[in-house]
Amino acid sequence: MNNNIRELRAEQGWSQAQLADLLDVSRQTVNALETGRYDPSLPLAFAISKLFARPIESIFTPGQAPV
């Protein structure tokens, strides 16, 4: 699954660690999300959507993440 979490995080000026704290996940989880190595659970996807005040489908799109 593709996503634009890295760009959204950068717009806020947050580090991966800061975003991880806001989402109550590890920094490694944020890194894995941003690099496409991990697809979030539905509750985590909703939390990300709510945090950035954007619809889920504007953050996550189907398809292979870039390698």
Q: Which residues contact 6 (CB under 8 A, 6 or more apart)?
A: 34
Q: In the prediction, which pLDDT does 16 show?
A: 98
Residue indicated by tokens 């489908």: 57
| Buried-exposed string 27-57: b where 16+ CB fall within 10 A, e elsewhere | eebbeebbebebebeeebbebbbebbeeeee
Structure tokens at 67: 């390698």
Q: Mean of the per-residue pLDDT values for the chain?
A: 94
pLDDT digits (tens, 9 = 90+) for 1-45: 899 999 999 999 999 999 999 999 999 999 999 999 999 999 999
- The pTM score is 0.89
Strand, coil or helix: what is 60? strand
pLDDT digits (tens, 9 = 90+) for 38-64: 999 999 999 999 999 999 999 999 876
